Structure formats: structure tokens, C-alpha cells
Amino acid sequence: MSPSTLSPIAFPDVALPESACRLRAEVRAFLDDEHARGTVLGRPDSWLAGWDPGFSRRLAERGWVGMALPTEYGGAGRGFLERYVVIEELLAAGAPVSAHWVSDRQAGPSVLRYGTEEQRRFFLPRIAAGQCFFSIGMSEKSSGSDLASVATHAERAADGWRLTGTKMWTGGAHVNDYAIVLARTDDAEDKHAGLSQFIVDLRAPGVRVEPIRLMSGEHRFNAFHLEGVYVPDGMLLGQRGDGWKQVTGELAFERSGPERYLSTFPLLLSLLRELEQRSATAEQLTRLGILTARLHGIRRLSLGVAAALDAGASPDVQAALVKDLGTRLEGTLIDTVRSVLPTPADPHATPGSHPELLAFALLHSPGYTLRGGTNEILRGIITRGLEQH
């Protein structure tokens, strides 16, 4: 079955190209060097918590940021499956990739697909060089899972727009360069209509960023206030009124990647290192085997979505299924690690030790099934997809 004719829950059979094996070896050698210099710490949730623009630029120098972007725009033109291999290795190692994460994962592909030629020429080479970092301006205080009810609005101004509203949970808005903001440009009876996307300069007058701290005290997210922010016509992304269609297409990139099941993988590696120091029981090995089998199954589904994206399809339903299964596995992994080897979680333990990594994963775990759309919303998407076919 070709990816372009996928049914809502069908996934294409995927064989990674031969070049992927060579690429994987290159990435592992690079990560060994970075580990030796102290930049790769093996932490869970590194795609959210590991902001290191220097590391991002070193990846970019090797062509590993913007890999799926065309070469004419500064990308590597290597496709989503080869990009998948790089991302998989980076996440498994707990590498600090959050600086370029949104730019590489969804802002770049969105600008490529919907942007003007001027936008492509300006943003894409900078993204691929690790010099331009994006945030997501979707969720609002009363419009998290019900994204179509956003209250942020854009009013026409001279040669542009004035945006007013507040976006919540805007990761990296305090350190990034731009945000792609979903706003209402027209009143419509159907709340999914009349929405548009804008590229907003995070340092523009009228932008105010207020930190939202995690339980751990970390500053990763923000309330992102737009107080009459002027956005020129040239920063409208796509067509006026097509915002909903564009956002749902963008979510296929956000929901289906390895980050949806590998956020806690470094904790599993830590457990395996701990068990190497003692004799694991048959029961412990059985539970680890079941966990590993689930992980491999979800990886297979995720690779199917990457293949579909490579073929130009929009596998929104498949992506929702990957995220639902993957983020539940992340929580299960933490519970399994704690039961297989009961160890007190300790955020003040030696950095990189098993108790410290366990504490880090636990403190981040409430967000796994929330970010990128709650699992309840995802199951609604999957059900509607089945009903329509």
C-alpha cells in the first residue's frame, strides 16, 4: 500500500535506506565526541529541556538540522527517514536539541509548504544553519485541547496586521527568535474557519513573555502576550483563513516523531547499566522484555508516518495514534523502572546518576500525555478518522 493511499490506521512497511546505517554510525561518533566535551548528559526529555544553541549549530555544520529541506534553501535534501535516524540517536543519547527542535521539526516544513518564496529564502537557510529558532503559538488559557476556539485576534492595519491575545505553554519564547502564531482574522459561524497563521518576531514591540515554571522550577514554558503587535503582510504564513488546515497538517510532524516514545529512554539505559552491576532476576528480565517489545512496536508505527511524510502524504490520524501509544509508554517506562529496581528518586543526587535521572523523569512526566494534544483529544481524532472511512 502506498503512503499516499493510507487508510486511517494503516502504516506502510518501512525499510530504512542503506545510507541510514552509515549515517547512524556518523551520528554515534559525533555524540561520543560531544559526550567527552560534556555537552551530552544523557538526560530524559532532552528535546524540551536541553537548550544549547552551540550544540545545534555543530549539528547544522554536519547537515543534520533541516535535513529534509531542499538544498536550494540550505537544507540537506535527505528526506524524513534519514532525518529520523539522526533524531532517534540524539534522543536516545539525551542530547540537548531543544534550541532547534521546533524549527527543524515543524516550522521549517510549514514555511516550505505554505510560505512565500521570500519567506523560504529568508527563513529556511537560517533554520538549516542553526541560526534561527522558532516557538509554537497555538494553545491559550481556555483553548488548549479545543484549539479552534482561540481568542487571539488579528486586525488589519496599514500593510499588515495587529495581533492581540495571549498564548500559553509557549516553549522557548524567552530565548527563541520567532513564533508561528494561530490567530482569528475573520468572524465565522464555523469556529474552524477564519483562522490564519503569522510569523511573529519575538523581540517586536508589544511582545511580552511571562515565565511559567515547571514543578522542578525549570523555566521552559511561557505565557506569550501579544499587545497590539504589528506583523507586516509579508509575515502572514499561507493563505488568510487557511490556518486550521495548516495547523492540522503541521501537527502530523509534531505528534509522530521519536520524541513521542523516547523522552524517557535514557532512564531505561540507566536501569540497564544498574542491572549490569547485579544479577537480574527472570522476572526483571521478563518485564524489561515486554517494555522493549512495546517500544519496538511503536517505533515501527512512527517510522511508517515518517515514510508517509516522505511520500508527501498528510497522515494526521496515524500521527495521533503514534502519540497516544508513545506517550503512554513513556509513563509506563517510568513505572516499570521503579518497580524493577526500587530506588528513591533524588533530584539532588549526582548528576547523571540513576536516582537523579529518575527524579528528572518523574517531574517531567505529567506533561507527556498533555503536550501536542491530550490523549483524549487524539482518540477523538482517531475515531473520527475511522468513521469517515
Catalogue the active-site residues: 254
DSSP reduced 3-state for 162:
strand
Q: In which region does residue 156 sit, left (phi positive, over 0), alpha (psi from -120 to 50) or beta (all else)?
A: beta
Q: Phi-psi region for residue 42, left (φ > 0), alpha (ψ -120 to 50) or beta?
A: left
289 Cβ contact partners less than 8 Å away, ≥ 6 residues apart: none
Q: Is 51 helix (H, G, I), strand (E, B) or coil?
A: coil
Three state DSSP letters for 199-259: EEECCCCCEEEEEEECCCCCEEEEEEEEEEEEEEHHHEECCCCEHHHHHHHHHHHHHHCCH
Length of the chain: 389
Q: In Å, how far are 57, 112, 198, 253 from 119, measured between CA atoms?
A: 21, 9, 12, 20
Residue 70: which of 11, 15, 113, 26 has the closest Cα?
A: 113
Task: Count CB atoms within 10 A of the CB of residue 250.
Answer: 24
